[in-house]
Amino acid sequence: MSIRYNQKREAEKQPRLTGGHRMCAGCGAGIVVSGVLRALEPEDRAVVVNATGCVEVSTFMYPYTAYMDSFIHSAFENAAATCSGVEAAYNALKRRGKVDGTVKFITFGGDGGTYDIGFQSLSGAMERGHDMVYVCYDNEAYMNTGVQRSSSTPRFSRTTTSPVGSVQPGKRQQKKDLTEILVAHNIPYVAQTAPIGNFRDLHLKSHKAIYTAGPCFLNILAPCPRGWDYPAAKLADIIKLAVDSCVWPLFEVEEGQWRVTYTPKKKLPVEDYLRSQGRFRHMFQPGNEWMIEEAQQQIDQKWERLLERAGG
């Protein structure tokens, strides 16, 4: 699928996520949700399903919602199942001539509700082949409930359940590669992106996912100033550092074909990214140089493997 990105046209669209929601200043999740929904064509309707988490509690307080489209709040563990059920019901009604028009089905969940608690229902919905998009806004911890570690939390990161001290150097385990796990489901489209620059990459992948028939998955980096410990005004800088250091590479897998969508002109050292956040501050203390070395080695290996898969 090939589409053109017209920044002026997209900027003039009526927002599907209104202002006045309660997300923190400097939060990446609100930009992610707004950017994905902006990829919808104006004439099309959407049903938005939201797992419990930062976005849900910030955009929905009964009976008020920040969404211009139909909205369903689901529990942590069943957002994908809820969305797949609504999609199946819509198709049944459409066959009977009781509904018409184009309706798209989109689920948003944080890493806690996607990598961990909601993974079973996500895997099931993808395997069954529902025509829906699941979007993970990945802020790498359970931010809404107190910054507890998740399986998305990077190694050595400080959280309230992976503290830093003389016994433990932050989280001990590597971050789970959920994007690769979803690729293994053999679904039509999987992509990893971030709200960076002119939002072209985010928009094109969101549009492709929404308008590709069948189950699609987007994993989108969504920094959290509270959990990552950075000044709110530094959101864009943090994202750019993640992408240019290849900590968060931008790529897509369409019908099994891997493609890197952004290659840094100059690949930055991972310490540039780590130094920008308080959650990694301990890695720069004397005697902890080995942590930075191991982090760099792991990132380099993953980047080279990605390039090989993409044929480059």
Kindly report the CATH number assigned to the domain that includes residue 97.
3.40.50.970
Which amino acid makes up residue 266? K
Dihedral (CA of 267, 268, 269, 271) sign? negative
Is residue 1 in a domain? no
What local confidence, expressed as pLDDT, does residue 1 receive? 55
Is residue 17 in a domain? yes
Is residue 143 in a domain? yes
H/E segment holding residue 270: helix 270-274
CA 100, distance to chain mean position in Å, is 31
**What is the chain's length?**
312
In this prediction the pTM is 0.96
Is residue 20 in a domain? yes
CA distances from 210 to 45, 174, 206, 213 (A): 12, 31, 6, 8
Is residue 2 in a domain? no
pLDDT tens for each residue of 213-266: 999 999 999 999 999 999 999 999 999 999 999 999 999 999 999 999 999 999
Number of folded domains that form the chain: 1
Say which residues have a Cβ less than 8 Å from residue 129's Cβ, sequence separation at least 6. Answer: 214, 215
Is residue 85 in a domain? yes
What local confidence, expressed as pLDDT, does residue 137 receive? 98
How do beta strands 189-193 and 251-254 pair?
Answer: antiparallel
Query: Domain residues for 35?
Result: 7-309
SS (H, E, C) 203-250: HHHHHHHHCCCCCEEEEEECCCHHHHCCCHHHHHHHHHHHHHCCCCCC
Is residue 22 in a domain? yes
The residue behind tokens 């019908």 is 255
Is residue 201 in a domain? yes
What local confidence, expressed as pLDDT, does residue 172 receive? 96
Pick out the chain residues at pLDDT < 50. none
Distance CA 28, CA 7 (A): 20
Phi-psi region of 207 (alpha: psi -120 to 50; beta: other; left: phi over 0): alpha
Distance CA 16, CA 206 (A): 14
Distance CA 292, CA 278 (A): 14
CA distances from 215 to 27, 37, 74, 177 (A): 27, 17, 19, 19
Distance CA 212, CA 229 (A): 37
Q: Are 143 and 130 in contact (CB under 8 A)?
A: no
